[in-house]
């Protein structure tokens, strides 16, 4: 009998500490984790990996650019929601941007949830488990 497939989470953040900590925590509770540091790679890697869930930062540093377009989390979220095969993937926005306008814009663009940094990992874990149908 084969073991069930581990749920895959793609983490997109330009903060290497956030990537490492989230990756270690999520891996330790049984998720497969894909890390993406460069905003120009996010949409391509999501299409390649087809994760069960995406954790998406809103703010990427000024060097994170593809050609002449700055890819911030808002643009990535809008783009992903337009692609039929990717729009079904739940996206949780993780951000230091605590403005009510940003929160509302994320949810209005299709994000499943928004979590402020620093992250409450227990609350984030509960939401990830709810959205992926897992109970760790």
Please check the confidence at residue 87 and state whether its pLDDT lies above 90.
Answer: no
Confidence band for 64, pLDDT divided at 50, 70 and 90: very low
pLDDT in tens, 32-59: 999 999 877 888 899 999 999 999 998 8
Peptide bond before residue 81 is cis, with ω within 30 degrees of 0: no
pLDDT tens digits along 4-15: 779 999 999 989
Neighbours of 114 (CB within 10 A): 20
Whether residue 133 is predicted with pLDDT greater than 60 in this model: the reply is: yes
pLDDT tens-digit readout, 106-118: 999 999 999 999 9
């Amino acid at each position: 009998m084969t073991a069930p497939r581990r749920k895959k989470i793609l983490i997109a953040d330009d903060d290497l500490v956030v990537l490492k900590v989230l990756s270690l925590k999520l891996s330790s509770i049984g998720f497969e984790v894909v890390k993406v540091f460069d905003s120009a790679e996010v949409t391509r890697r999501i299409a390649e990996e087809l994760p069960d869930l995406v954790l998406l930062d809103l703010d990427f540093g000024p060097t994170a650019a593809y050609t002449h377009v700055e890819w911030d989390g808002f643009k990535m979220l809008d783009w992903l929601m337009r692609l039929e095969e990717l729009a079904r993937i739940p996206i949780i926005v993780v951000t230091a941007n605590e403005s009510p306008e940003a929160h509302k814009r994320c949810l209005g663009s299709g994000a499943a949830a928004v979590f402020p940094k620093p992250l409450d990992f227990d609350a984030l874990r509960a939401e990830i488990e709810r959205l992926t149908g897992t109970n760790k």
